[in-house]
């Protein structure tokens, strides 16, 4: 089974997810500064979510470059990943509400964790169909960064009950960790 | 006529359908648990619809892998399938309303049936342009699962008048039937 | 310049247009028949618009199969066509309002005419870059059906001032004319 | 790393951006002229934004035709460009409000500038990975038009404080400058 259509379909879904998030920024009636102020948290939330979805697209892109063949299990593991990604517009909108609630930050973290777990499952399902010395196995490696991310998300959720900004700060930290080019950060974290 | 653009267009439409369904989960003002509770049925309905659209994409993918050439009739049989799929966001939103009505469950079932019929027609139109011993004919086979699904949908619609949850249970059953890998379930159903 | 990306971009835009039209069918609160009745004209309008956008996608598909190369002028003639197509969700929603107004039917017809003109311009721009005995020139031919459509649209707009259903009937007629396989209808019209 | 998926993903995102802008034209209840009049500025704003997004897609298309290979930095420079493009539906809706405010015109100009800067960065990142005598380097050239655009945008923002229409006029001027075929306008501007 060719991977072309799976890539094209994933590109389509991720492209839509990353774009419809902007619809949460409802155009206000009356375009003065007072009317726009409530949109500032929505905008910040949008930026963070855009970066996260961008990270997943970029990682998905890298991952599938090393993939040789796909099967039914890969199709569904991929759809499972897309499902959790598709909840980003919702939790992003929720966290962008003017008065940030603990629940919104916790839910955002839960979606972050479940998306990361779905990505982890996708990697396992792909590895099951490839040799242990394949380019794919090397590309995935020990997935140190992925495991560290899961821990930070969990800590972020716990800290959100102390203060919402602590939770958000940890989510931002993980995003930065993935944005900075790979080798250096991995060395820094492993040392 | 090449099948590439038909696949790409279908991927695009299905990707949008599966993603805009999440827009039915309107972000509430005030992100506490009370505000989120009405979204639970919408979320469950979204999960079921996501799985159904995913099943159709997966089957469409498998089907067209065996297809050699397409013509104008295939184009329109495919658009006909996409039309019924495009109603999923609507019936999914309707069934996700807080107080599930009989009508919503019946309409959901009607769209399920008409989508299945459209898929059946697409298969017939494709078969008409291929030899009876082609890879396509083998891939479609007797389409036992498709026929059983139609019967269960119809029973589900009838049972929805007795109780909405009976209808929904049968729709969930069909989804599970398609999610479980093919051979085993076919054997189980055929025995 | 390759035509691949132009086709992919057009597929994307048309896929989105054909799908977001369904968003005009707002999910009502309370899913009984009384709540759904106002959606019937929206649904009918959606069916007609879906068929029209489908016709344009199908024709676009056929047209570009015969195209060898594209240039900047083709890119913009194509974007011009996509612009008018992108107004279908708006005029479709307008005509689907419960009490159909003359203005809505007239605007729908105006968009039909301008889309047809844009398609005509796209054909001319493409022909300018191809030999007069090319496959493209043969595929476009005298474009008899396109010219007849323009006349019927214009008559439909005029008749809409007499009665809205007369206008709509003519728009439906053109859609049927394009749906019925080519040769027979062309013979029928030419005789 | 192949450029195919980057192009496909960009096509998807730009296709969605250019299409969802039309959703800002909300279908009014009651389809008479009085109900439609408030939509006129939204429509004009949509036309301008459609042309701008079209120009970026067209330039993106030309740019990547000359690109041989992409890397992680290109991926993110491209996502950065898509981010600013994704704000067009918002600022377009804002400027389309019935009573055009200075703030709306200024914000539109700011997004225009930041999108242009993102495009400039993308070009630099691409050039860093290609030889100085490559087809890409020649295709980008001195980017005279890009630099002039930045200046006009800035003047437009400043003039918006004097009168909103002065600002809008300059934004329209830049759009026309890009629409008119390249060589002639470059000569005219350089003379």
Say what the pLDDT of residue C31 is.
65
Q: Whose CA is closest to C27, among C15, C18, C35?
A: C35
Whether residues A97 and B50 touch (CB distance < 8 A) is answered with no
Measured between beta carbons, which residues in chain D are less than 8 angstroms from residue C12? 11-12, 15-16
Residues of chain C with pLDDT under 70: 1, 31, 181-191
As a whole number, mean pLDDT of residues D83-105 equals 91
Interface of B with A in 120-149 (CB under 8 A): none
Cβ of C27 under 8 Å from any chain B Cβ? Answer: yes
Q: How far is B86 from chain C (nearest CA, A)?
A: 6
Whether residues C27 and B23 touch (CB distance < 8 A) is answered with no
**Which member of A23, A47, A50 has the closest CB to residue D20?**
A23
Whether residues D17 and A19 touch (CB distance < 8 A) is answered with yes
What is the DSSP code string of A17-54?
A: HHHHGGGGSPPPSS-SHHHHTTHHHHHHHHHHHHHHHH
Distance in angstroms (rounded) separating the CA atoms of residues A95 and A118: 22
pLDDT in tens, D113-159: 999 999 999 999 999 888 877 888 887 877 888 899 999 999 999 99
Say what the pLDDT of residue B62 is.
86
Q: Cβ(A174)–Cβ(A153) under 8 Å?
A: yes
Distance in angstroms (rounded) separating the CA atoms of residues B72 and B64: 15
Say what the pLDDT of residue A15 is.
95
Phi-psi region of A30 (alpha: psi -120 to 50; beta: other; left: phi over 0): left
Measured between beta carbons, which residues in chain D are less than 8 angstroms from residue C82? 18
pTM of the model: 0.92
Q: How far is A14 from chain D (nearest CA, A)?
A: 8
Say what the pLDDT of residue A116 is.
96
Query: Using the 8-state DSSP alphabet, how is residue C133 labeled?
Result: T
Say what the pLDDT of residue D185 is.
46
- pLDDT class of D50 with cuts at 50, 70, 90: very high
Say what the pLDDT of residue A109 is.
97
Say what the pLDDT of residue C137 is.
84
Q: How far is C170 from chain B (nearest CA, A)?
A: 22
Cβ of C25 under 8 Å from any chain B Cβ? Answer: yes
Tokens of C180: 């019925």
Contacts of C183 (CB under 8 A, 6+ apart): none
Residues of chain A with pLDDT under 70: 1, 31, 181-191
Cβ of D11 under 8 Å from any chain C Cβ? Answer: yes
Q: What's the whole-number average pLDDT of chain D?
A: 89
Neighbours of chain A (3+ CB pairs under 8 A): B, D
The complex scores an ipTM of 0.90
Say what the pLDDT of residue D175 is.
95
Residues of chain B with pLDDT under 50: 185-186
Cβ of A23 under 8 Å from any chain D Cβ? Answer: yes
Q: What's the whole-number average pLDDT of chain C?
A: 89
Residue in the structure block whose two tokens are 């991952």: A63
Distance in angstroms (rounded) separating the CA atoms of residues A137 and A121: 14
List Cβ<8 Å contacts ≥24 apart for B62-67. B62/B139, B63/B122, B63/B123, B63/B126, B63/B136, B63/B139, B63/B140, B64/B3, B64/B6, B64/B7, B65/A1, B65/A2, B65/B139, B66/B134, B66/B135, B66/B136, B66/B138, B66/B139, B67/B3, B67/B126, B67/B130, B67/B136
- pLDDT class of D62 with cuts at 50, 70, 90: confident
Task: List Cα–Cα distances, C51 to C55, C62, C176, D163, in angstroms.
Answer: 6, 16, 9, 45
pLDDT in tens, D95-119: 988 778 899 999 999 999 999 999 9
Nearest CA in chain C to B100: C31
């Amino acid at each position: 089974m060719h991977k072309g259509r799976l890539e094209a379909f994933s590109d389509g879904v991720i492209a839509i997810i990353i774009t419809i998030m902007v619809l949460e920024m409802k155009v206000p009636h009356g375009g003065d500064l007072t009317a726009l102020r409530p949109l500032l948290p929505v905008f910040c939330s949008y930026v963070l979510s855009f970066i996260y979805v961008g990270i997943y697209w970029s990682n998905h892109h890298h991952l599938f470059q090393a993939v040789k063949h796909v099967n039914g299990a890969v199709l569904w593991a991929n759809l499972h990943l897309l499902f959790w990604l598709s909840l980003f517009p919702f939790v992003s909108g929720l966290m962008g509400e003017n008065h940030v609630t603990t629940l919104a930050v916790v839910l955002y973290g839960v979606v972050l964790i479940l998306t990361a777990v779905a990505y982890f499952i996708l990697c396992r399902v792909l590895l099951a169909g490839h040799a242990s010395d394949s380019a794919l196995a090397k590309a995935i490696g020990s997935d140190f960064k992925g495991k560290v991310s899961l821990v930070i998300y969990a800590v972020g959720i716990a800290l959100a009950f102390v203060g919402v900004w602590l939770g958000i700060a940890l989510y931002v930290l993980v995003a930065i960790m993935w944005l900075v080019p790979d080798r250096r950060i991995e060395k820094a974290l492993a040392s």
